[in-house]
């Protein structure tokens, strides 16, 4: 439990106070101390502004909204923890990921289609071999009218924008959507 608490405070950047510890204990119990859920939740808090109390209240409000409107039927995010269990660990972890994704959208609304394409590619292809050079080479080999709309985001005229590509990867890492 102490390691889970340490992970949360390290990832969130929040100060460890008595009030914060009480709230974090509730979150960790809901997540059953799963590192992935803690990591995403910590990233969510790291990217928030305001008082600690306000952040915890906002997190709880948004988490409950996601829990009340789970993914469409057919997805197996739900796993009951017992006859009387109120919380559903798998759905709580899903909610943590969803909150991080929504935060990315609020911070970078105009670039969301680009982020979505990049996340899809990273999900299906080996991220170790899917380097910036692959994207850049694709742009160079294709003529401009052939570029997919989302790939044009990284090109200014004829030149590849290394800084924009790097910034987008950093944003995805900050929201913990890629490692």
Higher pLDDT, 15 or 82: 15
* pLDDT confidence of residue 73: 47
**Which pLDDT tens digit goes with each residue over 22-51?**
888 888 888 888 887 888 888 888 877 777
Those residues with Cβ within 8 angstroms of residue 39's Cβ, 6 or more apart along the chain or in another chain = 7, 11, 176
| pLDDT at residue 86, rounded to an integer | 45
Query: Phi/psi at 156 (nearest 5 deg)?
Result: -120, 100
Tally of CA atoms within 13 A in the half-sphere of 115 that contains its CB: 25
The pLDDT assigned to 75 comes to: 46
Confidence band for 71, pLDDT divided at 50, 70 and 90: low
106-163 tens-digit pLDDT: 778 888 888 888 877 777 777 677 788 888 888 777 776 777 788 888 888 778 889 9
Which tens digits make up the pLDDT trace of 88-115? 655 666 677 777 777 777 778 888 888 8
Q: Please choose, from the candidates 93, 14, 99, 7, the residue with its C-alpha nearest in 3D space to the C-alpha of residue 53.
A: 14
Q: What is the mean pLDDT of the chain?
A: 76
- The model's pTM is 0.54
């Amino acid at each position: 439990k102490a390691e889970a608490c340490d992970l949360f405070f390290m990832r969130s950047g929040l100060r460890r106070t008595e009030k914060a510890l009480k709230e974090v204990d509730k979150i960790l119990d809901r997540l059953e101390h799963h590192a992935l859920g803690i990591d995403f939740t910590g990233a969510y808090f790291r990217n928030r502004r305001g008082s600690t109390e306000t952040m915890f209240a906002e997190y709880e409000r948004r988490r409950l909204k996601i829990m009340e409107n789970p993914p469409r039927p057919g997805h197996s995010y739900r796993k009951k923890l017992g006859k009387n269990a109120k919380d559903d660990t798998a759905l709580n972890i899903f909610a943590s990921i969803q909150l991080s994704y929504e935060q990315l959208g609020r911070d970078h609304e105009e670039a969301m289609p680009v982020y979505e394409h990049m996340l899809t590619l990273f999900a299906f292809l080996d991220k170790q071999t899917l380097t910036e050079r692959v994207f850049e080479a694709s742009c160079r080999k294709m003529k401009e009218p052939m570029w997919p709309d989302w790939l044009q985001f990284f090109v200014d005229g004829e030149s590849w924008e290394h800084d924009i590509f790097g910034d987008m990867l950093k944003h995805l890492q900050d929201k913990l959507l890629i490692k």
